Amino acid sequence: MALRAHGLTKRYGSHNTLVRAVDEVDLEAPTGQTLAIMGASGCGKSTLLHLLGGLQRPTDGQVWLGENRVDTMSERALARLRRDDVGFVFQSFHLMDELTAVENIELAALLAGRSPGRARKRALYLLDRVGLADRAMHLPSALSGGQRQRVAIARALSNEPLVVLADEPTGNLDTAATLEVLRLFDELHAAGQTLVVVTHDARIAAVADRVIAMRDGAFADDNRLVGTVYDGRR
Ligand SMILES: Nc1ncnc2c1ncn2[C@@H]1O[C@H](COP(=O)(O)OP(=O)(O)O)[C@@H](O)[C@H]1O
Ligand SMILES: [Mg+2]
């Protein structure tokens, strides 16, 4: 199992300001599964991803990434887990503006202790894999939104993470760029990468192995039918 959560809960505030952002969620994602999580704004999708990837600590419940228990980890171990075992992809890309595409990607490998030569080689390989070999020396400002997101996906893959967690990765993209990113996720899926994608886009959900609808911090509906387009009503 790549990812597992039990009774996962995150509350904000207290008494009359209490928000149950994530409310006793149970989840199991086998290695290689693509899981789509859909739901209205504010239902807890981002918080859930943050809990799964060790960006935030739960109020209650347990999370395992591979063999590692995440919720009780030390800060030091968490930093390492986020660096080595999780690849994050955000709606707004979060690239470093002053670094080129290849530098943005190799940074994660350098921080993980790879030699500069190996980090560069891996970054160039990943750029090629996302179809941007000819954009290695471009700054993010010289790339389109779809290209920036593909650089961000390459960066997420740089340390061969157990799981890629993507939070509305096509939320800022037009249709053509969305299709590029969609094709890339499809390729990652085919290559056996475990993926959890929060999305409003039914086209991404349609290629997922499993679609979970979230409401008020909890799973409202779970569609395990492979290849079935989620119709939003069931
Ligand atoms: N730092 C915070 N403090 C208080 N409430 C928060 C905080 N972050 C998120 N929330 C609340 O938790 C709920 C879930 O938020 P979020 O996970 O961002 O939802 P989504 O990603 O589905 O839009 C919302 O009601 C939001 O207002
Ligand atoms: Mg969100």
What's the CATH code of the domain at 11? Answer: 3.40.50.300
| Residue ranges around ligand 1 (CB below 6 Å) | 12-13, 19, 21, 39, 41-47
Q: Is the pLDDT of residue 122 over 80?
A: yes
Name the residue among 197, 161, 195 with its Cα closest to residue 46. 197
The boundaries of the domain holding residue 16 are 3-231
The total of structural domains in the chain comes to 1
| Long-range contacts of residues 10-13, Cβ cutoff 8 Å, at least 24 apart | 10/44, 10/47, 10/48, 10/51, 10/56, 10/58, 10/59, 10/217, 11/59
Question: How many A from CA of 113 to the centre of ligand 1?
Answer: 34
Choice among 11-15, 183-187, 201-205 with the minimum mean pLDDT? 201-205
The amino acid at 49: L
Question: How many A from CA of 59 to the centre of ligand 1?
Answer: 14
Contacts of 121 (CB under 8 A, 6+ apart): none
**Pairing, β 3-12 against β 163-167:** unpaired
Q: What is the pLDDT of residue 234?
A: 34
Q: Is the pLDDT of residue 215 over 90?
A: yes
Q: Which residues lie near ion ligand 2 (Cβ < 5 Å)?
A: 46
Query: Other C-beta atoms within 10 Å of 41: how many?
Result: 8
Best mutation site among 16, 43, 48 for ligand 1 pocket (most ligand atoms within 8 Å of CB): 43
Query: Other C-beta atoms within 10 Å of 196: how many?
Result: 25
Would you say 197 and 169 are in contact if contact means Cβ atoms under 8 Å apart?
Answer: yes
Would you say 100 and 53 are in contact if contact means Cβ atoms under 8 Å apart?
Answer: no
pLDDT tens-digit series, residues 109-120: 999 899 999 999
Bridge-partner residues for 69, per DSSP? 64
Question: How many A from CA of 119 to the centre of ligand 2?
Answer: 31
The pLDDT-based confidence of 226 (bands split at 50, 70, 90) is very low
- Measured distance CA(101)–CA(29) in Å, rounded: 31
Best mutation site among 46, 92, 167, 198 for ligand 1 pocket (most ligand atoms within 8 Å of CB): 46
Contacts of 195 (CB under 8 A, 6+ apart): 33, 34, 35, 163, 164, 166, 185, 188, 189
Query: How far apart, in Å, are the Cα atoms of 139 and each of 23, 92, 104, 116, 129?
Result: 41, 16, 9, 19, 18
Ligand nearest to the CA of 169: 2
- Report pTM: 0.93
Cα 53–chain centre separation: 8
- Region 148-169: what's the mean pLDDT? 96
pLDDT tens-digit series, residues 36-70: 999 999 999 999 999 999 999 999 999 999 999 99
Cα 89–chain centre separation: 5
Q: What is the pLDDT of residue 201?
A: 85
